[in-house]
Amino acid sequence: MSPHTDILHTLNSPEPSSDIEISFAGVDKAWGDNHVLRGLDFEVKAGEKVSIIGPSGSGKTTILRILMTLETPDVGLVTVGGDTLWNVKPGEKARETKQTIATRRKVGMVFQQFNLFPHMTVLENVIEAPIHVLGLSKKDATERAVDLLELVGLKEHMKHTPPELSGGQQQRVAIARALAMRPRVMLFDEPTSALDPELIGEVLNVIRRLATTTDMTMLLVTHEMRFAQEISDRVVMFDKGVVVEAGPPDQIFKSPEHDRTRKFLEAVNPY
């Protein structure tokens, strides 16, 4: 049995309350004349691993930021696990409610930049939110953090501060920190884009393990096309605020139906 079997088991989600874990229905988002989401209808099934691909500025990251409540939709309904995150009617302004806050706790996110507290140790970074948001005791939060740091291969670095670590190590700490909140949904926003090429593999290996050994719902925005093809149940091509096409990885990467998808793949991955 793998030494990580127990901790991986705890990351599995409880029985879903809905077959659909993430749902966007008629969601618009614009900054002035820049419409980044246009009547978006988009769903992710419970336990599904979905990669979103597409050109920069197409609205991919906005989807994740709305799920994290870092951005608000201008209009539309967003649910997570069957619970309402946002429900904005035309002419209304999005307002954060107790329901929004409760639903948001189901979601964890790993950003392009690591966003760690530089003055805290690795361990302190990972236990901060479980203690202050979930109300865990320091003992329980520390036990959870140590297990997760071992999972991402950084147990021996838990007394170091982020500036003492490589970029790849910092991103693995960020993954452990997100997992410490026991989210039902994990979001990854181009998690390797800020890394030197030789450090990318160590981060992808952690994400690969989560994708293949847990039933967490995962939504990944990435330019790592081969990785998306490998770990995804479904790939979604996104452009100009709408879904261009979606399907199994082999279909999208080997025989895309839309010319826009073909041109994008030829530009980013000409092999």
Each of the 271 residues of the chain gets a pLDDT tens digit; together they read 345 656 666 777 666 666 999 999 999 999 888 899 999 999 999 999 999 999 988 889 999 999 999 999 999 999 999 999 999 999 999 999 999 999 999 999 999 888 899 999 999 999 999 999 999 999 999 999 999 999 999 999 999 999 999 999 999 999 999 999 999 999 999 999 989 988 999 999 999 999 999 999 999 999 899 999 999 999 999 999 999 999 999 999 999 999 999 999 999 865 4
* Cβ pair 4, 151 in contact under 8 A: yes
Question: Which CATH number is 81's domain given?
Answer: 3.40.50.300
Question: Which CATH number is 142's domain given?
Answer: 1.20.1580.10
Same domain for 85 and 13, yes or no, is yes
Q: At which of 159, 182, 205 does a domain end?
A: 182
Q: At which of 130, 151, 182 does a domain end?
A: 182
CA distance 26 to 80: 15
H helix intervals, 138-258? 138-151, 167-179, 197-213, 225-231, 249-254
The predicted model scores a pTM of 0.92
Environment class of residue 245 by beta-carbon count within 10 Å: exposed (0-12), middle (13-18) or buried (19+)? middle
Q: What is the pLDDT of residue 58?
A: 85
DSSP state of 163: G
**Tokens of residue 269, six digits:** 């991955």
* Cβ pair 200, 178 in contact under 8 A: no
What would you report as the CA-atom Rg of the chain, rounded to the nearest whole angstrom?
18
Task: Give domain status of residue 207, yes or no.
Answer: yes
Same domain for 94 and 144, yes or no, is no
Same domain for 96 and 142, yes or no, is no
Same domain for 121 and 213, yes or no, is no
Same domain for 33 and 69, yes or no, is yes
Task: Give domain status of residue 93, yes or no.
Answer: yes
Same domain for 11 and 99, yes or no, is yes
CA 247 to chain CA centroid, Å, is: 19
Host H or E run for residue 264: helix 259-268
Same domain for 38 and 100, yes or no, is yes
Q: What is the pLDDT of residue 226?
A: 92
Same domain for 248 and 197, yes or no, is yes
Please tell me the chain's helix, strand, coil percentages from 3-state DSSP, rounded to the nearest 5: 40, 25, 35
Within a 10 A sphere around the Cβ of 206, how many other Cβ atoms?
A: 21
DSSP codes joined into one string, 66-80:
HHTTSS--SEEEEEE
Q: CA triplet 87, 91, 94: central angle to 5 degrees?
A: 40
Task: Give domain status of residue 111, yes or no.
Answer: no
Task: Give domain status of residue 124, yes or no.
Answer: yes
Task: Give domain status of residue 112, yes or no.
Answer: no
Same domain for 136 and 264, yes or no, is no
Same domain for 160 and 262, yes or no, is no
Q: At which of 134, 166, 182 does a domain end?
A: 182
The structure tokens 């991402």 sit at 152
Same domain for 215 and 94, yes or no, is yes
Residue 154 makes CB contacts below 8 A (sequence gap 6+) with: 122, 165, 169, 172, 173, 176
Task: Give domain status of residue 21, yes or no.
Answer: yes
Q: What is the pLDDT of residue 1?
A: 39
Same domain for 101 and 191, yes or no, is yes
**Paired residues of 87 in beta bridges:** 77
Range of the domain at 133: 117-182
Total domains in the fold of the chain = 2
CA distance 208 to 203: 9
